[in-house]
Structures are given as C-alpha cells and as structure tokens.
Chain A
C-alpha cells in the first residue's frame, strides 16, 4: 500500500523565518519526489523535484531527501506572506504512472 503522509498544519511562521515542511512515505523502492504549492481554489504549481538522496536548492527553496528514513522535506528560507499556501508532497513510484499526493500542509507567513 503506497501512502504519502503530511502534517496538515496549519503551520505559522513569521515573515523572514525558515518554514520547514515534512513528508513521509511508505513502500521503499525507486521513487521520484515533487513539491507543489496550491493556493486556495487554484491548481497545484510545481516548486521542485528531487530524485536522489541529499539536498537540492532552488532559490529560497531547498528540498531534502532521505530514502533510508523515507522522508522528504521542503525548507523555505526568508518566508514571505506570498508563500502562504498549501504545500503538497507527491511521490511517484517507478512501478507505475501514478502520483500519490499527501493531504498537504497549510502554511501561513505572518507579516
């Protein structure tokens, strides 16, 4: 059974702080990992993908993957009020085409 788990939050951080979002998943094996941002009533918007263990940085965003512990995280540095959204973790196992989404973590950045 393939499951993707996220803390639904809400997570509140002050403007300028680091927001840390976590995601765990079941079922070892080859996977690809994606973080999406979803504003209320809008579609998921890709932030970044990560495929191998370690850190991957893109601007203010850093994705961290630890396959041994089966978790992937997203750090947002210098958080801005415009970062307030729900962050979706998605996992794709190589055995199929499906993306498995977590329920998302709601982030609020307080000015």
Chain B
C-alpha cells in the first residue's frame, strides 16, 4: 500500500541553524501539506501546496519557513533559523481526492 515517507526520523540542531525536512508524498497525490505537533498539543496546520505553489498557510508559517518541491517526488520544509519553540513533530501529508494521509513524522529538537 502506498504511503508517505519522511526523513530524517529525528533531527537535532542548534538554535539559529537551518534545517530541511524531507517528504516523499504518495505518488499520484497532488495536494501536499505540512503540519506540526508540539509535545502534548494538537496537530497544527502549517502550509498546503498545490500545482507547485503555496495554496494556503497558517500564522505559524512565517518568513522563517519555506517549502519546495525540487523534483517530481520530494517535498521539503525548510526552517531558516531555528528557535527553541520550533521543537516539535513535523508531519507531511498528501491527498488525492479525499482525506489526507500522514507520513511518520520528523521529530525536530532544537537545543
């Protein structure tokens, strides 16, 4: 069964460093998303991406964040200068016609 994959599973970085989180969505899906979940809190929407551009973003997705689809399969989330409060699980999701299917997540720890 096709699934969303994400790498790395765990990323540890120093405050102020740049990180890139990678996702491979389900191959025939056209809509891609990033969500985050701070430990013990709700899943929060960051951004949606369709037709090679951002279709919607939340207040969390400020200038420190960017997304790219550099080739036909990968979908990346970049955080330019990480802050302590960026520590969270980051989930990529993709959608065909119906619900979103989530990847296993990347746990980002900012020290």
Contact = CB atoms under 8 A, between A and B. Distances in A.
B44 to A, nearest CB: 7
Contact of B102 (A43, A100, A103): A43
Interface residues of B, number: 22
B103 interface: yes
A96 B55 CA distance: 9
A42 B56 contact: no
Interface string B24-39: 0000000101010000
A49 B98 CA distance: 9
Given A44-B91, A97-B55, A97-B56, A103 B42 contact: yes
Contacts of B44: 101
A98 B48 CA distance: 8
B105 A98 contact: no
Interface string A78-99: 0000000000101000001111
